[in-house]
Chain A
Amino acid sequence: MGKQQQIKEFLLDLKDKEGDAFVWNEEVLFAEIEQKTSNNSTLAIKVLSIFGGLLATLAFLAFLFISGLNDSAFGLVFFGILFIVLSIIGSKMYNRIVIDTSAISLYTIGYALLAFGLSQMHLEETLCCFLFIVIAFVALNIVSSYVFSFISFLIIFSSVIAIININDLYNAYHLITLVNAISLFYLFQYESIIMVKFRKISFHYEPLRIAMICSFIFMLYLVSTGFIFHISFSLSFISSIANILLISYFIYLAKETLNIVTNSVLIWTVLAVALLLSPTIYYPAISGSILIMLCCFRSNYKTGFSIGVLSLIYFISQFYYDLYYTLLIKSILMFTIGIIFLICYFITNKKLMNNENN
């Protein structure tokens, strides 16, 4: 059965359930399906577009510096704006995956030229970042291609980080991490609300989701390891508590699917999770990675789930590497946690077996 036929039947089924009030724009819907199937995009294609675009940008910047064209501030700003406008118009007019690489190259080269030009004009850096955020928002409002939106979200996010860093507002990193955790949770948990009530966001839902995961992992890295900027760790517990509360709320919402029938089991489960994560209270990266894993697993989002697993492995290793304890104490800690997990495995395994048999 063809895709269109399958969707038609699905829509008719839905109409039976939803009643006559349920209507759809068949022409636009099928035109989009037709266009998307001939424009079939996979992860490999998206990654290729992004890496190809960035590699081309690097080669172009090398050209710019060797040729000495970067000396004229006005020229840089002019070409920067021209490239960004061209990439937006191109993507809007030919909404095809084939031109993504060219559009991404033009778009990122445009930002780079603009940044160099404005810095030569001695424009205040914060203002420059705000300008980038505005341009990215305008681009998002016009274009809805996956990689284009993804890069735009990353530009907005990096500009926010840059503003915080330029103005030495280091404690704001904790706030950004907190907001990131809550919005990520909302994005995954209330997908249907976003799709129905926030039409504008719904067109960028998929790129927003992956951009949000990337930015959240970056923030977790910053507030947990503090490798790049001068961040005080005394406030890191805020993000940890938020992550643990969100994980608990996640378990509460999923209690029916997980077959947690009584309140006492629910409370014990939440307590066990909080207790296990409590040693990482000043290292929110671990609870954050678990939150990403859970959200992605529930939504059946494999790419995000793999990113969550890899980040969890990395952050756990980094956590124990950074601990100021002797190897012996670290060993006892890890062995104890291992045994607790094994006990949890055997308890849940027994329960799950019983449930499956019933």
Chain B
Amino acid sequence: MDQLQREDILRIARHSNISQQALSEVLNKYVYAGRKDWYKFLHIFLISLGVGFSVAGIIFFFAYNWADLNKFVKLGIIELLIVSSVCIALFTKLNQLVKNVLITGASVLVGVLFAVFGQIYQTGANAYDFFLGWTMSISLWVFVSAFPPLWLVYLILINTTINLYAEQVANHWSTVFLLLLLFCVNATSYIISLSIKKVKRHSKIPIWFNNSLALAAIVPATLGSSIGIFSEYSNEFLAIISITTIAFGLGIYFGYQFKSGFLLSIIPFSIIIICSSLFIKISDNEGMFLFTSLFIIVSVTLVIKNLIHLYKKWNHGQTATN
């Protein structure tokens, strides 16, 4: 028998004279976290806070820029820490999660190493090549560990590098072009991640990771298209509108294929925002704002109606979970 869900139990409680004790037992049995869940939670909570705080402590220590500390000692300490944490991850029989957290810690320390290097040799701690170097140096660990939080750090680094490059080197890039580039990078990562999940059935790519990637792709697409609508028409605007149209079309197709309610709600919502921007660009008188308000209500309602219909079809009458 399928697990009874919380809402079923609460519904039964609302329409019966179930005793408080019985309800409490049922909730404990079917809904609440058991001993194993708590052990897993404690594992992750303590190791993440432990490694997180230690690495943060190290970052603050080097940010303090202790003048009396010799530069070789500074670089030496960080290198020693990186080498030792990677060695522990490689050559011990620790739990896989601990090893992954250690590698993630080491990846952050690589950034500290570059920052300290920049501090000593005056190359700056926010130069784009600092982030580029950092990103490239940890690539191998990211690919080997296949640990979603580390992948997320990696993608944040790539996005930061692109942003800083646009700011410091490619000054001639327009905002729309920058957003188009970020959209392409994040959308490509999302497609790769989905393909891996499709090919390797046992791959442990969590839903939150894929959803974060989708969000990271759709936000620049929406922003870029809306900003493009309000600016002067350019080739970049044409590019972002056409690529977004194709990508959103594919995204909706993928949404149906992978039964992703997230994708099928966020893409239409993005389209609604882009269309609203277009309406207000066409005319910013009171009638258009009233029309836009009604347009949003009607279109969101239609999207929700479609989603409800789809969930019903996918779950054959059972409640959806994501």
Contact = CB atoms under 8 A, between A and B. Distances in A.
A117 B173 CA distance: 47
Contacts of B51: 338, 342
A78 interface: no
B8 interface: yes
A123 interface: no
A328 interface: yes
A258 B38 CA distance: 7
Interface in A289-330: 297-300, 306, 320, 326-328, 330
A66 B289 contact: yes
Contacts of B148: none
Given A1-B2, A24-B16, A192 B53 contact: no
Given A2-B317, A22-B16, A22-B18, A98 B308 contact: yes
A74 interface: no
B15 A32 contact: yes
A17 B1 contact: no
A50 to B, nearest CB: 10
B304 A97 contact: yes
A349 B43 contact: yes
Nearest to B266: A44
A51 interface: yes
Nearest to B289: A63
Contacts of B195: none
16 contacts: A1-B1, A42-B261, A52-B296, A56-B294, A60-B293, A62-B289, A66-B289, A192-B27, A206-B10, A257-B38, A259-B35, A335-B61, A338-B54, A341-B50, A344-B50, A352-B43
Interface of B: 1-2, 4, 6-8, 10-24, 26-27, 31-35, 37-39, 41-43, 46-47, 49-61, 63-64, 66, 208, 261-262, 264-266, 269, 272-273, 276, 284-287, 289-290, 292-294, 296-297, 300-301, 303-305, 307-308, 311-312, 315, 317-322
Closest 10 CB pairs of A and B: A335-B57, A52-B300, A338-B54, A338-B53, A24-B16, A341-B50, A331-B60, A342-B50, A63-B289, A334-B57
Given A63-B286, A97-B308, A339-B54, 11 more contacts: A7-B4, A18-B18, A48-B304, A53-B300, A59-B276, A102-B297, A257-B34, A327-B61, A335-B54, A338-B52, A342-B51
Interface of A: 1-3, 6-7, 9-11, 14, 17-18, 21-25, 28-29, 32-33, 36-45, 47-49, 51-53, 55-57, 59-60, 62-63, 66-67, 97-102, 105, 191-193, 195-197, 199, 202-203, 205-206, 254, 257-259, 297-300, 306, 320, 326-328, 330-342, 344-345, 348-349, 352, 355-356
